[in-house]
Chain A
Amino acid sequence: MPISPHAPLPERPRPKSPLDLFLTFTLLALQGFGGVLAIVQQELVDRKQWLTRDEFLEDWAVAQLMPGPNVVNISLMIGTRHFGLRGALAALAGMLLAPLLLLLVLALVYARFASDPGVAGALRGMSAVAAGLVTATGLKLGSTLKTNPLGLWPCLGFALACFAAIAWLHWPLLYVLGGLGLLACVLAYRKLAA
C-alpha cells in the first residue's frame, strides 16, 4: 500500500505543527554545545520517538552524504517528512535562528572574557564532554546493526575500517565514502536480493 510521504502512520508520535517543529529544533539547537548531533538523537529518538534508531541512522547517512552541515540537513529532512516545504523551513529556522542571535551577542562580549582562565577552562571542560556525547551517540546507534542484512560481524568490520581511515589515517571523507561506503552498499544490495 503506498503511503504519502507527508503522512506517517498516525499512531507514531510526530510533530503537531510546523510551529512545534520550530520550537523543538530551537530548544535542541540551544542545548547543543559542541554540535547538536547528540542532543538531536537523544531528544528525537529516545524521548519524543519521532524517529526510530534505524530511521535516524538512515537519515544521517543521507545528511552526511549531501553537502552541507549534517544537523541542518537532518532537521530539514525531518521537517520535510512531516509538513513538506513548510516543515523544512520551520525546522531549518528553528535550528539556526536563535543560536545565530545568541552567537552574535556572544561575539560582541567575547573580547572581554576570552583571556579569563576560568572561562577558557570551562570551555575546555565542555569540549571534553561534547566529544564524549558524540562518541556515545555513535555507540548507541550500534544496536541497529544487529538487524542489518550485511550481518553483525561484517558491519563491525566496516565500522572499524571506516573509523581507522578517518580518525587515525586522516583519509579524505570522499575516498572513504566512495571506497568502503560503496562496497558496503553493493554487498547490501546483493544480500537484499537473497
Chain B
Amino acid sequence: MSTPLPIALALGDWLHLFVHFLGLSLMSIGGAITTVAEMHRYLVVQQHWLTDAQFNAAIALAQAAPGPNVLFVALMGWNVGLNAGGLGSALFGVLAAMSGILIPSTTLTYLAAHWGHQNRTRRTVRAFKQGMAPIVLALIIATGWTLASAISGSGPQLARWTLIAVTTLLVWRTKLHLLWLLAAGALLGWYGVV
C-alpha cells in the first residue's frame, strides 16, 4: 500500500508556508513590504521554492499594478504553486500566502480599531492620536522619498526628479485627478522622456 507521498508532503509544505506567513503578518509593522527580506530568506534561500528572478519579478509586477502593494505576497504564493504544479496549485498558493499574511494583522487591527473608537475620549487615546500625527505624516512623506529614490533604469535623472516635484506640487495644491497624472507619467516614460 503506497501513500501518495508528494501530495502529503505538498500539503505539509503548504501548511508550513501558511504558518510562516502567519508569523510574518504579526511582524509586518509598517506594511508587508517590511518583511520582504525575511520572505526572501524563507522562500528562496531556505526552501528553494522560488528563484531570485521570480521573487524580484513578483515585487516589481505588484508595485506596477494597481491595488495595495501587499498583493506581491499573492504572487509569491502563485509562483510557488506554479512551480509545484499547474494553475490549480497556483491558486491554492495564492490562498495560502494571502490568508497567512492577512488573518493575524487584520484581526488585530479590527480589535484595536474597535477598542480605540470606544475609548476615544480617554486622555491616553487622544494623546496617542495627536502625538502620532506629525510622526505619521513624516512617515508618509518618507515613503514618497523612498519610492522616488528606488526608481531605477536608464532614463534621465533630472527629468524624472522634475516630474516627481511637479506631481507633488499639483497633487498638493490642486484637485487634479490622480489618474491624469499617472497617464502623463506613463506617456513620458513610454517615449523615454523620464
Contact = CB atoms under 8 A, between A and B. Distances in A.
A35 B68 contact: yes
Contacts of B165: 132
Contacts of A166: 138-139, 142, 146
Contacts of A187: 131
Nearest to A162: B138
A150 interface: yes
B123 A72 contact: no
A11 to B, nearest CB: 19
A23 interface: no
Given A69-B28, A128-B167, A138-B144, A33 B66 contact: yes
A137 B144 CA distance: 9
Contact of A159 (B116, B138, B175): B138
A138 B186 contact: no
Interface in B58-93: 58, 61-71, 74-75, 78
A63 B148 CA distance: 23
Given A69-B28, A185-B132, A193-B123, A163 B141 contact: yes
Given A57-B137, A62-B116, A127-B151, A103 B71 contact: yes
B118 interface: yes
B127 A188 contact: yes
A103 B63 CA distance: 10
Interface in B156-194: 160, 163-172, 175, 178-179, 181-182, 184-194
B31 interface: yes
Main secondary structure on B side of the interface with A: helix
B57 interface: yes
Nearest to B28: A67
A17 B140 CA distance: 30
B158 to A, nearest CB: 12
A184 B135 contact: yes
Given A67-B105, A156-B134, A162-B135, A103 B62 contact: yes
Interface in B118-152: 118, 123-124, 126-148, 151
A107 B78 contact: yes
A22 to B, nearest CB: 14
Contact of A181 (B27, B110, B135, B169): B135
Contact of A130 (B78, B105, B147): B147
A67 B27 contact: yes
B66 A99 contact: yes
A128 B127 contact: no
Contacts of B65: 33, 99, 102-103, 106
B140 A134 contact: yes
Contacts of A80: 110, 113-114, 117
Given A68-B25, A70-B31, A141-B140, A124 B194 contact: yes
Given A34-B63, A150-B134, 10 more contacts: A38-B178, A62-B113, A68-B25, A69-B32, A135-B141, A135-B168, A155-B134, A160-B138, A189-B131, A192-B123
19 contacts: A31-B178, A36-B68, A61-B135, A61-B136, A69-B28, A100-B67, A117-B192, A123-B186, A126-B186, A134-B140, A136-B144, A136-B169, A141-B140, A144-B133, A150-B131, A162-B139, A176-B139, A185-B132, A188-B130
Interface of A: 5, 29-39, 42, 46, 54, 57-73, 76-77, 80-81, 85, 88, 92, 95-96, 98-100, 102-104, 106-107, 110, 114, 117-142, 144-145, 148-150, 154-156, 158-163, 166-167, 173-174, 176-177, 180-181, 184-189, 192-193
